[in-house]
Amino acid sequence: MRSILVFALLALAIGAFAPKLYLDATARTAPVAAPVTPASSGYRSLTLRPDDRGHFQTDGTLDGRRMSFLVDTGASVIALKASDAARLGVRPAARDFTARVSTANGTVMAAPTEITRVDVGGLVVYNVAALVLPDEVLTQNLLGMSFLSRVRFEHRNGRLVLEQ
C-alpha cells in the first residue's frame, strides 16, 4: 500500500510539472549554483538560484555518472529518463515496469530501482529510491524527495539552500 501512495504522489508531481518541462530548451538559462561550502560545524551547504522560469536545476552524480536534474519537492522519488538510467547500467526489461504513474500525457508504467550513491554538490545520500520512465514522458530528470528528505533544504531569500 505504501508503494502505491509513493507512486501516486510521484504521478501527481509529474502531472503538475510535465507541461512546464516541454518548454523549448533554448528558453532556459543554465542553472547557477553556489559552490558547496563546509560550515564550521562540518556541514555542507549548496545554494541554488532559480532559472528564468523560477525552477531550481542542478547537476549531480548517480553512481559516478553526471546527470542534470530539476529539483522537485512534489516528486516522491527521483525520476529518471530511461536513456539516463541506461547510462547507469539500469536497463529495465518490459516486465520491470510495474509502477503505474499518471502524467499530463496520461498513465505510463515506470520501473522502480534504487541508486546506490547520489551526490549533489557534495551532499551524498546512499540507497536512494528512483523510478525509470520512458524518455517521451520526461524531458529531464527529477530530483525528488527520496533524496531531498535525507538532506535539509529550505527556500531562503529566493534561493534553495540544501545542507547536510
Residue 60's pLDDT is what? 97
Cβ atoms 17, 101 nearer than 8 A: no
CATH of the domain at 128: 2.40.70.10
Whole-angstrom Cα Rg for the chain:
15
Query: Which residues span the domain enclosing 109?
Result: 2-163
Q: How many residues does the chain have?
A: 164
Pairing of strands 106-120, 57-62: antiparallel
Output the pTM of the full model. 0.75
pLDDT digits (tens, 9 = 90+) for 40-88: 556 899 999 999 999 999 999 999 999 999 999 989 999 999 999 999 9
First to last CA, the chain: 30
Residue 13's pLDDT is what? 44
Other Cβ atoms closer than 10 A to 26: 5
Q: How confident is the model at residue 106 (pLDDT cuts 50, 70, 90)?
A: confident
Total domains, the chain? 1
pLDDT digits (tens, 9 = 90+) for 7-39: 444 444 444 444 333 333 333 444 445 555 554
